Each structure stands twice: as C-alpha cells, then as structure tokens.
Structure 1
Amino acid sequence: MATQLSAQNYQANWQSIDQRVTPSWWSDAKFGIFIHWGPYSVPAYAPIDEVDGVYEKYAEHYENRLLTKNKLFTDYHRKIYGDNFTYQDFAPLFRAENFDPTSWASLFKRAGAKYVVLTSKHHDGFCLWPSKYSPKWNSVDIGAHRDLAGELSTAVKKAGLEMGFYYSLLEWNHPLYTKETINNWVDEHMIPQMKELVTAYKPAIIFSDGEWDYPSDTLKSTSFLTWLYNESPVKEKVVVNDRWGKETRSKHGDYYTTEYDLVHDKEGIGEQASHPWEESRGIGTSYGYNRFETTAHYFSSKQLIDLLIDKVSNGGNLLLNVGPKADGMIPVIMQERLLAIGKWLDVNGDAIYGTQVWEDKPATMKEDQIYYTKKGDALYVICTAWTDKPITVSTNSAKKVKVSLLGSSIDVKVEQLQDKLTITPPQIHPGNMPCEHAWVYKVENAM
C-alpha cells in the first residue's frame, strides 16, 4: 500500500486526486474519538429543548450566535457575563489547568478507539498550538499557555493510536475572511497554517470543515492536497475527508462524512456504500461541552454500541465526540460511555476491526436487530437484541461451517442445509453471558 501511494504523483485537480486509494489502516480502524475543545468550552452553552435543528444545539458555535444576534445566546450571555464581555474574553479563562494528555490517551485506548481527531482550530480561529499565523489567539500565548495539540499528539501516538486534527477553513471573525480578500486569506493564512500544522505534528488524519462558503477552486484545496500527498512528511499515510469546498461533500476526499446522520449526498454513503465514509456525533446533542445537557440528552451505552454496529455493518466508521470542560476534565458520564464501548469491544472487536460489508446482507438488519460484517472467510452475525429463537442465515458456502459465540466457550448448535444456516442460540443467563448490549456469532468457513 505505501509503495503504491508514494509512487503516484498527483496533480492539482480532482480527477487526479480522486485516483488515490484510501490508506487501509483507516478503513480497518472503524472507531475513533473526536474532541471539540476551545474557548467555547468556557461558557459551555447552547439551547437544547428550546430549538429543533441539530446545528442550533452546538455549543461550539457560541461566537457566531453572538455575532448573528441569536436571542437565546445573547440573552444568556448578557445575563451571565454582561454587555461588555466579548467572546475573546473567554480565551484567558480557557486555562486547561487539569488537562492530562496521558490520561486522555489512556481513556481513548481503553475505549477501543484506534484514532483520535482534535479540533486544532475551530471556526472561532483559536489555535490549540502556537501558530505563528494566529499570534495572541492560541493556547500558548493566552489561557492555558500550553501546546495542547502537541501534548495530546505525543500522548496519543505513545499509546499506539493514530492522531489527527480537525481544521476549519473559515474563521467567523478574521479580517481577511471576506469575499474581497478571500485570495489573501487562502494564500497568506489558511494554506500556510495547514502546512505548519502538518509539518509540526505529522497527523495521520486531516478533518477539514467550514468549506461551505466557497468552491474548492477558490480555496485552492487541490493545490494543498497535492502538496500533502506528494511532498508532506505524511504523504503515504494521511487520510482526509470530503470538506474542501461547497461542492465537495460526498464527492471528493479519502472518506465521506455525515454528522448526526445528516447526509448531503447519499451516493457512496450508508446502505449503498461504495466509498469509505464516517459518521460523527457527540454523545449528547453538542460537540463542544454543554453544561446544560442532562442524562436525557445523552445516548446510553447500549445506543452507542448499537450505533457503532450499524455504521460498521454499512461500511462506515464511527467518530464519537467528547467535549472536555475548559479545565481539561472529560465529564464522567462521557468517560463511562467510552469505557462501556471498550468493554464490549474487548469481547467483540473481531467483528468490528478490519471487517468489510457483507454483500448479501439483508435490507432488514435494523428491523431484525441482526447485523452482519465479514472478514476473511468468517461472517459475523451481530445481534443487538438477544433472541432465544433460531437465527437463519443465507450463505452460499459449500464448506462445513463452525459457529461460536464470541467471548463464550458454550457450544453453539448449527444446522447447515444447502444455502441456509440455522443457528440455535445457547442457553445464556446472567452468570454466563459473555457481555452486555449486543452479542456476536462468528461463522467460520462462511465464504
């Protein structure tokens, strides 16, 4: 794979760039951790029950809601901080005094994640590294006085996980980000800053965002990507998403993206997956920490595990977000959810990591609460609800199959007649159940 990628010389056009093969490590990883963290973590506010749209509940959009005079945000801001307190005044309060990158990396590893993506710079323009293109508006010059991106990158890589960065192509309040000066923005700020980030920290993933105002030609995205793929220190390994211009989602990039199941173009995503793709979402309603979310707004451990199963069985990855507090502490409820996923993956990871879509999967997986993945000659039958009734699986294998329940030594009876297998669930009770939430039958010699 590495030889194939490095041998290709990509040109600055989508036709050339789209020929790149997505590095297999990313497609095999299946599960990653997203982190939204910045000055917006200080107010940690967005309305939840008062609004209906997904985006309206994002706490990380706090600055833009003030700029656009959203009444819910301006009323809250005036009540708590007063009329003379600006968004920029949150930066000195973003101190990250309890941030322990080693503990974060350990948690993500125990969660079963294979990669981590940190918001190096969100739409407010605040950088979590000492960017020379954002003086006095980064975490080294103000607030934490620490290279948060660098510290986490080192810890994550030391833990054996891949490290990536989210980077916003826009900034709400930057003087160069205007129609009149957009070329200066791209040439003097955006592209040089992205190159600075890549060169300094050598990320394996770049999750770009904020691409919706301009086409990719204006943003010179293909020019940056040819540098990334041909010359950068991560040219063989790096993976990028599809957010490089207002016309590029679900059309260009190593993988396509959805968030909170919002899909811009269904081609290549979901049940008809023909291209690597990834769903991202928070454990609650927001990416950035929202202090007003309650347990009613959080997905349960069961819901998150089912979500992972659903996305992977349909050919996708899951990038699950955590929103740390401004002091660097990850809320306990988020830690609990991650550890529950990790506990399940400890038993059933064989049915998730490195798997592929089963071409013969039924269209009724969600309704049946039975999902399928495959790897090598094995088929994995993943039950999100335990059933005592026989499970029938259609297969064209002429070989004698062997069926086991992952995490259990109990014999599983199977009847094999022509193109059908009938699996009889074993007698399971709380004392011998291998795991909670979902159960996996491994069918060997199924292919």
Structure 2
Amino acid sequence: MKTPDTHAKFEETWESLAKIEREPEWFKDAKFGIYFHWGVYSVPAYGSEWYPRWMYAPGRKDWGGDIYEHHKKTFGPVSQFNYHDFIPMFTAENFDAKEWAELFKNSGAKFAGPVAQHHDGFAMWDSKLNPWNSKAMGPKKDILGDLFVELKRNNMKTIATFHHERLLQRYAQDTAKWAQNTPDPGDDSHFPYHPDYITSTTDPKLRLLYGNMPEGEFLDYWLNQVNEVVDNYAPDIIWFDSWLDRIPEKYRQKMVAHHFNMATSRGQHPIVAYKQEDLPANVGMLDIEQGGKTDLSQDYWLTDITLSNDSWCYINGQTYKQPSLVIRNMIDVWSKRGIVLLNISPMANGTINNEQRNILSTLGKWINKHKEAVYETRAYSIYGYGDANIEKGYFGGQSATISYSKNDIRFAVSKDKKYMYIYALGLPTPNAPLEIRTDIEQNVKRVSVVGSDAELKWSMAGKRLTIQTPEATAMDELATVFRVEFD
C-alpha cells in the first residue's frame, strides 16, 4: 500500500471538506454494493438486530415487545444472562472471506463490506481500542480485515458501516427514561439504562460495551474507532446510520477530514455516506433507508435495502423477497441516479443460507447478461413512466418493495451517449408493438434486445419510437432491456 502523505489536504471545516470529488466516477459506474448485519445479535436470531436493546425493556407492546419475555424464557433473566454472554456463542466457524468475496462479486456487486460496528458496541475488526471485538473474542477472526483483503483481490471497492453513535448512555440522570419506568426507554441510547442492569456498570471493560462513560470520553472513543478502521483498512466508503447528528459537529468534521485525507493520500476517491441531514449535502452521499427517490435526482444518492422481508440480521423463520422484486426496484433506483446497497444476513456460525445465495445468484446472472445496461450507464432526461402503485417509504421517498409490471418503463443511456437502454419491469407482450411514451431526440439506427444480437423491427412517428417485440424466449421475465443505437 502507498505510504500515506501526512500533509493534510482537507481542513476540519465543511467549506474545505466540500471540495472533495463527492461523486467519483467509480461510484457512478458501480450501481450495486453488498453489506451485512452480522454480529453478536445474530446469536439469539430472534426479533431483529435490536435484540440487545429490547432484551432490557420490559412492558413493551410495540415493536420488539416480545423480546424481553423471550429472552427471559429462553436464556434466563437479565440478572443472570446479559448481552455479553452471547459473545462466546458467536462462533463464525463457517466464515470464509475468500468465498464470501467471490459470492458478492458473482452477484454483480462492485463494492462490499460489513456492518463494522452496530449499535451494540461490538467491533467486527481487530481493534486495539475496543476490547469487545471479533478478533479478541467470539469468532477470534478479523472479519472486516480478512474480507477487505479478499474484496480488494477481486478489484472491488470496500465499505465499512458504523452505527455506534447511539451507544452512549445518555439517560443515567433521567429516571423517566429508564427501563422499568417506561416501555420506551430513552431512544438516543441503544442499551436501556437502569441501576439494576449491567447497562449501568462501571467495570472498566464492560462499561465500554454498554456505553456507560462520560460523554467526552465516549466521543473520543467513537471517533478513534472510526479512525482506526480508516487507518488500518482503507475503506473507500464509510457509512453512518441515523443518530450521527448526536455527535457534535467538530467531531463529525474531524472524522470526515481524517477519512478524506487518508484516502486521497493513498490515491483513493473516498465517500462518506449519511442519513437524513446528518452531514452537509455538498460533503457526503445521502442514503435513504429502505426506499428511494420518487423522481430523477440531480445528485447521486444511495439506498440501503434488505434482501429479507423483516429483520436486517438473521432470525429464525426469516423470509426473503422474490428476485424479480429486488431487480425491478434496483432498476428504478438506477434510473433516478441512485446506487443500491443490499443487505444480507449471515447466521451466527457464518453460514449464508441457500435462500439468500439463490437470490444473489439470480441477481448476478441477470446483471451479467445485461451488464452493458447496468454498469457505466447514466440517467436519461427522465427516469421513465408507468402505472405502478407508488407507496411511501418509512424513511422518506418511496418504498423499496413496489410491485412493478411490464407497463412500467425505465431509461438509461451509455456514458458515450451512443445507446439508450429501455427497461421493461416485467415481460412485455411478445410479438406486439410497444410504444415508448417519451420523446427521443436522436436519430435511431437500430433496436435490439440486450443479451441478444437479433435486431428488432421498429418505427418512428415524430419523436416517438415503437418497438416490435420478439418471442417471449428472446426476452427476460425479470426485466427485459431494449438497446436503442443512435446514428
């Protein structure tokens, strides 16, 4: 690796940080990345990755409300069995960094990486700062480091996601927000506080896991862990979940400046991704959780979505989306200048089950067949049209699980503008005229189906193109892509 240039290029101000190449070419080309929620919370495999929070919250009727009783019944009361007691059960014996990297590459992803640290305070790298890490205990493996090595061998970019900004115990003095006093304990701390719980521990080591430390110490602990990953593993993207706005501005500026300076000194083109309004829009890359923009965006953006229908981490009885749903919603994102970050969920022993593997294989085959219409494409003047019922997402924009059909059309163009790609989000009617209901300004030379050399009959009426579709076997039931070549 190139020796870093210690001369700081970016200062710790938003004005200076806004000078970064915020939308690097590799990111525009990539279209698709994979990450995964995998950690100690994968051991109980129940409810969701928020198990470590809700196991300490009795009396809840809402989301996660059955976890407290489930934990008590299955593992014992929290006076006897705490979250850290799951760590020896997080074995990861089936984790194979080489095989995982190849799986991700074959699925069509151009970048990948783990949830480096979730809200639970357990680090998935060989940390010298956080004793609660996957190398020191549990798997006894440097999950992030081993995977990054293999991803880079496959010429893939890397991403590390951070969610630990809400680890700090912020409610020790606010009795109304304590667990047992309310079914909805203080939301800006992941582990509910109560003096009778381990979450109030002052043990020098345990308090680091449960976030019970002075705010100033926590902020340094938070920042230094992000910097440790940046320094030791050189991620191309660092990504932050909601609650980053709970970190004071000067710490956020330090974090971004360090990432930009280290990465650019290595010759990388780095990105920092954020949610809501947690970073300035001219510095970071906006991520919309489980959804997307409703129209063509002027800026590039990111969406993180699940392969599963419910939890982000593996849970018993987990169900998964149909490949057609995933692919069609991905195409919609791409047509609006979006990039997809797809989450998968390994089991605690490091198994990525066949249900997920089969979906990833289907994605990979579709993308490989249509790769000229996926990578290195750019948005058209409009994203498309159709009659799908557009549902609102929980985190802004539209849902990531919209049911599209052959009546929903999306567009893209090649970087050199020689080709236009028309995506039908369902199998078009075979041997029938398909009118493209938008103006095409360039002169059309020929029309064909991507994945086939056969030319199609077509006609122009003014600026409107009509394509004569081929036999069903010459198209793709997941999504058919027509290639329009211009003079």
TM-score using structure 2 length: 0.79
Deviation digits for residues 32-56 of structure 1, max 9, x if unmatched? 111111000100111xxxxxxxxxx
- State the Cα distance separating 1:215 from its structure 2 match: 5.2
Partner residue, 2:334: 312
Q: Over aligned residue pairs, what C-alpha RMSD do you find?
A: 2.5
Between stretches 15-24 and 408-417, larger displacement belongs to 15-24
Question: Aligned to 1:117, what secondary structure does the other structure show?
Answer: strand
Partner residue, 1:258: 288
- 2-structure distance, mates of 1:212, 1:224: 11
1:223 aligns with one of 254, 260, 271: 254
Equivalent residues of 1:114, 1:162 under 8 A apart: yes
Equivalent residues of 1:41, 1:289 under 8 A apart: yes
Equivalent residues of 1:306, 1:384 under 8 A apart: yes
Equivalent residues of 2:303, 2:338 under 8 A apart: yes
Between stretches 176-185 and 34-43, larger displacement belongs to 176-185
- 1-structure distance, mates of 2:213, 2:454: 69
Q: Does 1:64 align with 2:50?
A: no
- State the Cα distance separating 1:106 from its structure 2 match: 1.1
Equivalent residues of 2:444, 2:484 under 8 A apart: no
Partner residue, 1:143: 138
- State the Cα distance separating 1:339 from its structure 2 match: 0.4
Unaligned runs of 5+ in 2: 1-5, 168-189, 192-205, 390-406
Q: Does 1:159 align with 2:154?
A: yes
Equivalent residues of 1:66, 1:73 under 8 A apart: yes
Q: Does 1:392 align with 2:435?
A: yes
Between stretches 386-395 and 300-309, larger displacement belongs to 386-395
Q: Does 1:91 align with 2:87?
A: yes
Q: Does 1:332 align with 2:335?
A: no
**Would the alpha carbon gap of residues 207 and 331 (structure 1) be closer, same or farther in structure 2, given more than 3 Å must change?**
same
Q: Does 1:421 align with 2:421?
A: no
- State the Cα distance separating 1:254 from its structure 2 match: 3.2
**Would the alpha carbon gap of residues 199 and 42 (structure 1) be closer, same or farther in structure 2, given more than 3 Å must change?**
same
Q: Does 1:291 align with 2:316?
A: yes
TM-score using structure 1 length: 0.85
Equivalent residues of 2:245, 2:278 under 8 A apart: no
Number of residue pairs the alignment of both structures matches: 412
Partner residue, 2:271: 239
Q: Does 1:444 align with 2:444?
A: no
Question: Aligned to 1:160, what secondary structure does the other structure show?
Answer: coil
Matching residue's letter, 2:313: G
- 2-structure distance, mates of 1:252, 1:43: 41
- State the Cα distance separating 1:197 from its structure 2 match: 0.7
- 1-structure distance, mates of 2:359, 2:145: 26
Question: Aligned to 1:242, what secondary structure does the other structure show?
Answer: strand
Question: Aligned to 1:440, what secondary structure does the other structure show?
Answer: strand
- State the Cα distance separating 1:26 from its structure 2 match: 1.2
Question: Aligned to 1:401, what secondary structure does the other structure show?
Answer: strand
Partner residue, 2:297: 273
- State the Cα distance separating 1:289 from its structure 2 match: 0.7
Matching residue's letter, 2:72: R
- 1-structure distance, mates of 2:146, 2:7: 33
Equivalent residues of 1:406, 1:441 under 8 A apart: yes
Equivalent residues of 2:39, 2:90 under 8 A apart: yes
Question: Aligned to 2:368, what secondary structure does the other structure show?
Answer: helix
1:182 aligns with one of 215, 227, 235: 215
Deviation digits for residues 58-82 of structure 1, max 9, x if unmatched? x111111123334411111111111
Partner residue, 1:266: none
1:128 aligns with one of 124, 129, 139: 124
Partner residue, 1:56: none
2:408 aligns with one of 358, 363, 369: 369
Question: Aligned to 1:275, what secondary structure does the other structure show?
Answer: coil
- 1-structure distance, mates of 2:267, 2:253: 14
Matching residue's letter, 2:424: C
**Would the alpha carbon gap of residues 400 and 146 (structure 1) be closer, same or farther in structure 2, given more than 3 Å must change?**
closer
Partner residue, 1:16: 16
Partner residue, 1:74: 68
Partner residue, 1:43: 44
Equivalent residues of 1:36, 1:118 under 8 A apart: yes
2:227 aligns with one of 155, 177, 195: 195
- 2-structure distance, mates of 1:163, 1:282: 19
- 1-structure distance, mates of 2:364, 2:84: 38
- 1-structure distance, mates of 2:270, 2:388: 33
Equivalent residues of 1:216, 1:247 under 8 A apart: no
- State the Cα distance separating 1:247 from its structure 2 match: 4.0
Question: Aligned to 1:85, what secondary structure does the other structure show?
Answer: coil
1:208 aligns with one of 201, 221, 240: 240
- 2-structure distance, mates of 1:41, 1:178: 20
**Would the alpha carbon gap of residues 181 and 319 (structure 1) be closer, same or farther in structure 2, given more than 3 Å must change?**
same
Matching residue's letter, 2:269: K
- 2-structure distance, mates of 1:355, 1:7: 36
Between stretches 246-255 and 403-412, larger displacement belongs to 246-255
- State the Cα distance separating 1:108 from its structure 2 match: 0.7
- 2-structure distance, mates of 1:19, 1:363: 36
Equivalent residues of 1:407, 1:435 under 8 A apart: no
Equivalent residues of 2:440, 2:465 under 8 A apart: no
- State the Cα distance separating 1:179 from its structure 2 match: 10
- State the Cα distance separating 1:230 from its structure 2 match: 2.5
**Would the alpha carbon gap of residues 112 and 37 (structure 1) be closer, same or farther in structure 2, given more than 3 Å must change?**
same
Question: Aligned to 2:159, what secondary structure does the other structure show?
Answer: strand
Deviation digits for residues 307-339 of structure 1, max 9, x if unmatched? 111111111011111110011010110000000
Partner residue, 1:118: 114
- State the Cα distance separating 1:160 from its structure 2 match: 2.0
- 1-structure distance, mates of 2:274, 2:71: 34
Equivalent residues of 1:412, 1:426 under 8 A apart: yes
Unaligned runs of 5+ in 1: 1-5, 47-58, 264-268
1:300 aligns with one of 318, 322, 332: 322
- 1-structure distance, mates of 2:448, 2:7: 43
Equivalent residues of 2:427, 2:472 under 8 A apart: no
Equivalent residues of 2:236, 2:270 under 8 A apart: yes
- 1-structure distance, mates of 2:282, 2:440: 35
Between stretches 386-395 and 373-382, larger displacement belongs to 386-395
